[in-house]
């Protein structure tokens, strides 16, 4: 099976002190120049096989959304390589990206911000089709749009309405339909159910799984909720402070998590049938700021089993079983 996406050593940073004046600081009696850089993504590498669902999981600030937005070139990567369907798209310019954009699409997180409030649903759905000239006429595009709407569980009369007339779950369905409009090979879903109620989440996840089976595309799924990704993923990567700390196929990761952070994440996720809260394992401390990354392993200051090496050296990936990788010195 070939790979639809290969991400190699991706790095993304945001410089908060672009202006000269922002850099000037007055500390302890004298002036100095200081650069404040947010190290959002630090040397991230992973692959997505064709037809597979790969999920990136982590808490806020871990860099998963930034990684997704960099891969789809909404922001230009600082360094590293993005190889999509065999083609290196890292340095492509917007005009060159245009034909490739037909093949990779995105579903966004906030159903209340991902649809233009001034556009009717029909227009939202036909816009990408007409832009990429996938239909010979507007009428054809409109017909396709109605099919898409029905495929995601809405009705054709609703195509003439505006987004504000729909609920969060319905808007998310429209967002999915929009992503499908250009018949992409690869879809990045950036926390598509986080903003929805639990019962609606299940509906949307089911739609996403059904569509994948029907249209055979590949997914990069971003989420912070482990239980959500368990259903939809084939493989997962757990991220912390801009790095992937563990990466494995679903069965292996859920049956045998090895990285201390992954284990803490599992333990912290509230589940039914678990015992009382007083007995759960607790991770101490706060998530550090990505501006001042801890030295060595990013997790060492909160890790319950950290050793002196952890603060000194960044751990590399070790293969703990075939296909199952973790970045920890203690393995």
Partner 1 sequence: MGEMKKMGAAPNKSLFRRLAESEFFHNYKRSPSAIIGTVIVVLVLFIALFGPLFAPQNPYDVASLSLTDSYKPPAWEAGGDARFIFGTDSQGRDIFSSLIYGSRISLFIGVVGTLLACAVGITLGLISGYFGGRVDAIIMRLADILLSFPDILVALFIMTMFGRGVSKLLVVFTIIGCVTYIRTVRAEVLTVKQMEYVDAARVIGIPNILIIAKHVLPNVMTTVIVLSTMKVGGLILAEATLSFLGVGVPVTEPSLGMLVKNGFDVLFSGYWWIAVMPGLYIMLIVFGINLLGDFLRDEFNPKLK
Partner 2 sequence: MSETLLQVENLRTYFHTFRGVVKAVDGVSFSLDEGQVLGIVGESGSGKSVSSFSILKLIEPPGVVESDKILFQGEDISKKSEREMMKIRGKAISMVFQDPMTSLNPLYTIEKQITEMLDLHQKQMTKQEKHARCVELLQMVGIPNPEDRLKSYPHQFSGGMRQRVIIAIALAANPKLIIADEPTTALDVTIQAQILKLMDKLVKEQGASLILITHDLAVVSQMADRIIVMYCGKIVENGSRDDVIRRPSHPYTVGLLNSIPRMGEEQKRLESIPGMVPSMLDLPQGCYFAPRCKYCQDICRTVAPENHEVGPGHCAACHFPLTGGESHE
Residues that bind partner 2 (CB under 8 A): 59-60, 167, 169-170, 197-203, 205-206, 209, 224-228, 230-231, 254, 264-278, 280, 282-284, 286-287
Selection from partner 2, partner 1, none that 98 binds (CB < 5 to 8 A by kind) is partner 1
Q: Is the dihedral of CA 255, 65, 200, 149 positive or negative?
A: negative
Selection from partner 1, partner 2, none that 276 binds (CB < 5 to 8 A by kind) is partner 2
Question: With respect to partner 1, which residue has the nearer C-beta, 47 or 110?
Answer: 110
Q: Quote the CA–CA distance of 117 and 212 in Å, as a whole number.
A: 28
Query: What letter would DSSP give residue 248?
Result: E
Selection from partner 1, partner 2, none that 139 binds (CB < 5 to 8 A by kind) is none
Selection from partner 2, partner 1, none that 215 binds (CB < 5 to 8 A by kind) is none
Q: Quote the CA–CA distance of 174 and 168 in Å, as a whole number.
A: 10
On whether the CB atoms of residues 200 and 180 are closer than 8 A, the answer is no
* Coil/strand/helix, residue 192: coil
CB of 205 to partner 2, least distance (A): 6
Q: Quote the CA–CA distance of 216 and 116 in Å, as a whole number.
A: 28
Concatenating the DSSP letter of every residue in 71-128 gives: HTTSS--SEEEEEETTEE-TT--HHHHHHHHTTEEEE-S-TTTSS-TTS-HHHHHHHH
Residues 6+ apart with CB under 8 A from 313: 296, 297, 329
Given 17, 158, 194, 267, the residue binding partner 1 (CB under 8 A): 158
Given 11, 97, 287, 320, the residue binding partner 1 (CB under 8 A): 97
Encoded tokens for 289: 């700021």
Given 9, 33, 87, 131, the residue binding partner 1 (CB under 8 A): 131
CB of 286 to partner 2, least distance (A): 5
Question: With respect to partner 1, which residue has the nearer C-beta, 209 or 320?
Answer: 209
| Best CA proximity match to 146, nearest among 122, 111, 112, 180 | 122
Q: Which residues ranging from 62 to 81 are in contact with partner 1 (CB under 8 A)?
A: 69, 72, 74
**CA 206 to chain CA mean position, Å:** 19
Question: With respect to partner 1, which residue has the nearer C-beta, 2 or 155?
Answer: 155
Question: With respect to partner 2, which residue has the nearer C-beta, 1 or 278?
Answer: 278
| Best CA proximity match to 234, nearest among 216, 252, 260 | 252
Residue 117 binds partner 1, judged by CB under 8 A: yes
Selection from partner 1, partner 2, none that 286 binds (CB < 5 to 8 A by kind) is partner 2
Question: With respect to partner 2, which residue has the nearer C-beta, 137 or 276?
Answer: 276
CB of 270 to partner 2, least distance (A): 4
Encoded tokens for 298: 């990013």
Give the footprint of partner 1 on this chain (CB under 8 A): 69, 72, 74, 94, 97-98, 101-102, 104-106, 108-110, 113-119, 127-128, 131-132, 150, 153-155, 157-158, 160-161, 165-166, 170, 175, 178, 182
């Amino acid at each position: 099976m070939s790979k639809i996406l290969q991400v190699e050593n991706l790095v993304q940073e945001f410089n908060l002190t672009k202006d000269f004046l922002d850099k000037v600081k007055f500390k302890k009696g004298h002036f100095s120049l200081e650069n404040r850089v947010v190290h959002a993504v630090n040397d991230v590498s992973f692959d997505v096989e064709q037809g597979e669902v790969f999920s990136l999981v982590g808490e806020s600030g871990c860099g998963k959304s930034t990684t997704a937005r960099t891969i789809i070139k909404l922001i230009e990567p600082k360094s590293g390589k993005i190889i999509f369907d065999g083609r290196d798209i890292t340095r492509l310019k917007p005009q060159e990206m245009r034909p490739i954009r037909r093949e990779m699409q995105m579903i966004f997180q906030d159903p209340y911000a991902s649809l233009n409030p001034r556009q009717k649903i029909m227009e939202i759905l036909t816009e990408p089709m007409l832009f990429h000239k996938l239909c010979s006429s507007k009428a054809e595009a409109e017909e396709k749009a109605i099919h898409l709407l029905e495929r995601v569980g809405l009705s054709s009369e609703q195509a003439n309405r505006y987004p504000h007339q729909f609920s969060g779950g319905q808007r998310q369905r429209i967002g999915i339909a929009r992503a499908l409009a250009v018949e992409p090979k690869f879809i990045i879903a950036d926390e598509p159910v986080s903003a929805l109620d639990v019962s609606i989440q299940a509906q949307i996840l089911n739609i996403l799984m059904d569509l994948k089976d029907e249209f055979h595309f590949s997914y990069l799924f971003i989420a912070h909720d482990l239980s959500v990704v368990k259903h939809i993923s084939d493989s997962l990567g757990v991220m912390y402070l801009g790095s992937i700390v563990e990466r494995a196929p679903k069965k292996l990761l859920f049956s045998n998590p090895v990285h201390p952070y992954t284990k803490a994440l599992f333990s912290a996720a509230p589940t039914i049938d678990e015992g009382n809260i007083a007995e759960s394992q607790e991770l101490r401390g706060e998530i550090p700021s990505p501006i001042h990354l801890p030295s060595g392993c990013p997790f060492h200051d909160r890790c319950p089993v950290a050793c002196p090496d952890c603060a000194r050296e960044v751990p590399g990936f070790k293969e703990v079983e075939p296909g199952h990788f973790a970045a920890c010195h203690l393995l």
